[in-house]
Structure 1
Amino acid sequence: MSNLNDYAYLLEKEIRASGEYGALKQAYEQVLQNSQAKTLFDDFRNLQLRLQEKQMSGQPVTEKEAGQAQAIAAAVQANPLIARLMNAEQRLSAVLDEVNKILMKPLEDLYTGK
């Protein structure tokens, strides 16, 4: 029997070699090289994480926080470097979603009797 971890590491290597990952890495590096875009992106990610933590702990998001989220989301979408980064992330995420569907197929087949 083969070692599934070996295949997982091979898959990781292939993901890193993919065009989608390369485009994401390049877009991220461009954001990092622009201080305004980097600050905006960091603020956006930090706010996202704080709001996720609140929701996971059952705390409500305040109107002020929702307003902050809307304002920073609009600023992020208006920044071409960050918009390119987010589009690249969505493309890679779609690939990873498809890979996950393939990986989960044995369980799906088992539970559906296929």
Structure 2
Amino acid sequence: MNPYDKAHELARAIRASGEFQELKRTLEQAEQDQTGSKLLDRFRQLQMEYQQLQMKGEEPPRETVRELDDLLQKIGEKAELRRVLEAENRFGTLMGDINRIVTEPVEEFYKSRWKK
């Protein structure tokens, strides 16, 4: 069994999955609305900045937190944008589960080595 072949097979399965197809569909619909698309872009930009600060152990500025809250509220008011976030969440869960499954053999290997 060639792991590279299986990886390509997995990539095809991900592309064909309902979660990925729903994400594509909702994003394409949301991109039809320039205002909504800009809201999502700004939300993602601030979200990334926020996460980077947290990973460094720094507290995000209050203005950033307020703007994120405001954007999240505006996104929540627009059904097509809310569906994008929901689809991203479901796709993220799928990818997290796949990552956990794929990395399990390596984790088990190292755990068994540490017990000795």
Assess same fold via TM > 0.5: yes
* CA distance in 2: counterparts of 1:107 and 1:42, whole angstroms: 36
TM-aligned CA distance change 1:40 to 1:94, over 3 Å: same
One-letter code of the match for 2:2? N
Per-residue displacement from partner, 1:33-67 (whole Å, max 9, x unpaired)?
A: 11121111111111112223333444431122211
2:95 is aligned with 1:66: no
Per the alignment, residue 55 of structure 1 pairs with 54
One-letter code of the match for 2:33? N
Per the alignment, residue 4 of structure 1 pairs with 3
| Bigger shift: residues 25-34 or 66-75 | 66-75
Per the alignment, residue 103 of structure 1 pairs with 102
Q: How does 1:1-114 map to 2 (within 5 A)?
A: 2-110=1-109, 111-112=111-112
Tell me by how many angstroms 1:72 deviates: 1.1
Between the two proteins, the alignment pairs up a number of residues equal to: 112
One-letter code of the match for 1:24? L
User: Given the two structures, how large is their TM-score scaled by the length of structure 1?
Assistant: 0.84
Tell me by how many angstroms 1:5 deviates: 2.1
* CA distance in 2: counterparts of 1:51 and 1:97, whole angstroms: 21
Q: What 5-or-longer segments of structure 2 have no aligned partner?
A: none
Per-residue displacement from partner, 1:53-108 (whole Å, max 9, x unpaired)?
A: 33344443112221111111111122211110111111122222221222122134
One-letter code of the match for 1:67? R
* CA distance in 2: counterparts of 1:12 and 1:68, whole angstroms: 36
* CA distance in 1: counterparts of 2:97 and 2:59, whole angstroms: 33
TM-aligned CA distance change 1:109 to 1:91, over 3 Å: same
| Bigger shift: residues 13-22 or 43-52 | 43-52
